[in-house]
């Protein structure tokens, strides 16, 4: 293959710049009330802002890096991931429902996967103006400040985020058991939507874990790379490594409680 060696710092700077610009575009395009469309059911929504932000990112990426692969949730441009050495995995708005409701927990997420490994993650929260950045071997940052996960914590001190779709995967009993146990053993449970921002908040230490039975790669690619670099522990609920090619479950946590949470859930997943 004749792909030139990749200048990773340049790539990272470019990614951070276009995500920040995409954030400005998102704010500019926001209308009140925001027009929305349903994608199959009443709770699966998309707006023209999702589509325009994705298009902006894809156009900019392919102009600068025509030999890179891009996959985005809204399918503005799609190619088969494995044909490319370097692949961008994009969620133009992660947390569309929050965006529509003005619930301040949504963001733009980009993960860059190189030879199958997470290389760069960029997540932007347009409400707080926080730009999260992670680069393999180079740490995680929020607006340029280094993010390092807090000292050891106990499960009883942890604030844990989760998400819906439990019911699609588990029986009623298993669902009941797992949610109740989580409430009993932790300090609290939150369902706030927005996988990408959730992962970044764990990197900051405001949340301590995230348990979700099913996500798509674009929901977590950027956030996983950032959280790993901040010192977080991330796997699927089975304990297997997270995949950047296929979606799946996520158990992301402060390293001192990851195994304990894994032990709670591993039995419920086949």
> Which residues sit at the interface with ligand IPD, rule CB under 6 A?
73, 91, 93-96, 163-164, 193-195, 215, 219
By beta-carbon proximity to ligand IPD, the closer residue of 11 and 242 is 242
Q: CA 213 → CA 66, 166, 252, distances in Å? A: 35, 6, 12
Chain position carrying tokens 């977590």: 220
- Return the residue of 94, 99, 201, 225 that touches Ca ion, per CB under 5 A: 94
By beta-carbon proximity to ligand IPD, the closer residue of 112 and 196 is 196
Question: 205 in helix, strand or coil?
Answer: coil
Question: 164 in helix, strand or coil?
Answer: coil
Cα 118 to Cα 16: distance, rounded to the nearest angstrom: 15
Cα 249 to Cα 183: distance, rounded to the nearest angstrom: 20
Query: Least distance (Å) from Ca ion to the CB of residue 34?
Result: 14
Mask: binding to Ca ion, 206-235, rule CB under 5 A, as x and -? -------------x----------------
Query: Quick one: tokens of 247?
Result: 């979606």
Cα 16 to Cα 130: distance, rounded to the nearest angstrom: 11
Please give the order of strands across the beta sheet that includes 188-190.
188-190, 159-162, 209-215, 248-253, 233-235
Query: Least distance (Å) from Ca ion to the CB of residue 114?
Result: 22
Residues 59-78 interacting with Ca ion (rule: CB under 5 A): 73
Q: How many residues sit close enough to Ca ion to count as binding (CB under 5 A)?
A: 6
For residue 52, the partner it binds in ligand IPD, Ca ion, none, with Cβ less than 5 to 8 A by kind, is none
Among 57, 263, 98, smallest CA distance to 178 is for 263
By beta-carbon proximity to ligand IPD, the closer residue of 50 and 87 is 50
Query: Least distance (Å) from ligand IPD to the CB of residue 10?
Result: 28
By beta-carbon proximity to ligand IPD, the closer residue of 98 and 208 is 98
By beta-carbon proximity to ligand IPD, the closer residue of 24 and 164 is 164
Chain position carrying tokens 């979606």: 247
The site for Ca ion (CB under 5 A) is made up of 73, 91, 93-94, 96, 219
């Amino acid at each position: 293959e004749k792909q030139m060696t990749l200048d990773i710092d340049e790539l990272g700077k470019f990614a951070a710049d276009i995500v920040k610009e995409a954030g400005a575009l998102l704010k500019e395009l926001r209308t009140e009330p925001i027009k929305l469309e349903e994608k199959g059911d009443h709770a699966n929504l998309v707006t023209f802002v999702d589509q325009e932000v994705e298009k902006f990112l894809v156009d900019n990426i392919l102009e600068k890096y025509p030999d890179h692969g891009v996959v985005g949730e809204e399918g503005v441009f799609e190619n088969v991931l494995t044909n490319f050495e370097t692949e961008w995995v994009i969620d133009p708005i992660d947390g569309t429902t929050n965006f529509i409701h003005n619930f301040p927990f949504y963001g733009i997420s980009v993960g860059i996967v190189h030879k199958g490994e997470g290389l760069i993650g960029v997540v932007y929260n347009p409400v707080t103006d926080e730009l999260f950045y992670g680069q393999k071997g180079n740490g995680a940052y929020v607006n340029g400040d280094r993010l390092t996960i807090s000292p050891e914590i106990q499960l009883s001190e942890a604030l844990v985020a989760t998400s819906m779709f439990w019911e699609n995967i588990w029986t009623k009993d298993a669902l009941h058991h797992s949610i109740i146990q989580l409430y009993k053993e932790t300090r609290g449970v939150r369902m706030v939507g927005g996988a990408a921002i959730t992962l970044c908040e764990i990197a900051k230490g405001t949340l301590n874990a995230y348990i979700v039975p099913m996500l798509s790669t674009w929901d977590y690619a950027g956030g996983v790379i950032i959280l790993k670099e901040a010192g977080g522990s991330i796997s699927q609920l089975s304990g297997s490594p997270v995949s950047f090619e296929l979606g799946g479950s996520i158990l992301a946590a402060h390293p001192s409680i990851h195994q304990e949470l894994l032990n709670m859930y591993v039995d419920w997943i086949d």
